[in-house]
Amino acid sequence: MVDCKMPIAVFDSGLGGISVLKELLRLLPNENFIYYGDTANAPYGVKSAEQVRELTFSVYERLKTRGIKAFVIACNTATSVAVAALREKYPRDIIIGVEPALKPAVLCAQHPTVAVLATPLTLKEEKFATLMGRFGDDAEVIPFACPGLVEFVERGEIMGDGLQEFLNGLLAPLKREQLDAVVLGCTHYPLVKDAIVEALGGEVLVFDGSAGTARETKRRLESAGLLNNGSDGGVVFIDSAYPNTENADRSTLMRFGGEYLCS
């Protein structure tokens, strides 16, 4: 039986979902969270859809057995390939996904030029094609895969010359496009937002889906009568690279995530 004291699980392939957790903590400070980073299997964005679906189901089923009241897939890649199948198998459960924030981005100007940065798998999936179909006429949309970027974040390398050089090279084709906006369509990317903006030349609006995902989580819990009105909120970190240790202090996820949440 689900009750309001149960934790909300927040899941990503690794550290990226911390950007969503930050918004969740801001909006729902009384809630208990389990943050699950599958760092042993990151990155997801260059795997096959079947592999990522399987990994997502396996994490979900483990956390469901432990007892959670909602599951936030704080990963665009896992959402693309698994959210529909999970909801179909568990229609009563609260399962929230994240998707590239194209909707607000296309409203930022009259027919703006918008780049969507995401993993190769997110951009390949049907879900992204559907999103493009909904908003693609209102803007010049440039889907842009960023293989290799997640690995910087997973190492905790979110600033510095190495990262900047990598991004300057990767994003050079976009610098010529006179972008009005960029959508960070992978939850790892907000963690390196400053370096991305710098590589694009500085004059660009940035959108990501984390605040919208947090608002949707709150809405869903509210309408199910499952908000926790007590005051015992907190976060437990689980890093799949340290399977037997919750809050493992040797884990980059735990150290880096803790610092990022306080920043």
Residues in the site for ligand DGL, rule: CB under 6 A?
12-14, 16, 42-45, 75-77, 119, 122, 150, 186-188
CB of 78 to ligand DGL, least distance (A): 7
- Catalytic position from the list 4, 108, 146, 186: 186
* Cβ-based nearer residue to ligand DGL, 7 or 14: 14
* DSSP tally for the chain: helices H, then strands E: 12, 9
CB of 35 to ligand DGL, least distance (A): 13
* Cβ-based nearer residue to ligand DGL, 43 or 257: 43
262 has catalytic annotation: no
Q: Give the C-alpha separation, 29 to 147, whole Å.
A: 34
* Cβ-based nearer residue to ligand DGL, 43 or 112: 43
Work out the angle at residue 91's Cα, subtended by the Cα atoms of residues 88 and 97, and round it to the nearest 5 degrees.
Answer: 75
Give the residue from 104, 125, 57, 113 showing the smallest Cα distance to 85.
57
Inter-residue contact 196 to 159 (CB < 8 Å) = no
Instruction: Say which amino acid occupies 46.
Output: V
- Catalytic position from the list 75, 108, 146, 262: 75
Q: Give the C-alpha separation, 257 to 238, whole Å.
A: 11
146 has catalytic annotation: no
* Cβ-based nearer residue to ligand DGL, 79 or 228: 79
CB of 11 to ligand DGL, least distance (A): 10
Inter-residue contact 186 to 76 (CB < 8 Å) = yes
Q: Give the C-alpha separation, 26 to 123, whole Å.
A: 29
**DSSP character string of 79-109:** HHHHHHHHHHH-TTS-EE-----HHHHHTSS
Cross-strand bridge partners of residue 144? 117
Give the residue from 133, 167, 137, 135 showing the smallest Cα distance to 150.
167
CB of 63 to ligand DGL, least distance (A): 17
Both tokens of 30, joined, read: 């009384």
* Cβ-based nearer residue to ligand DGL, 31 or 99: 99
CB of 111 to ligand DGL, least distance (A): 27
Positions annotated as catalytic residues are 75, 186
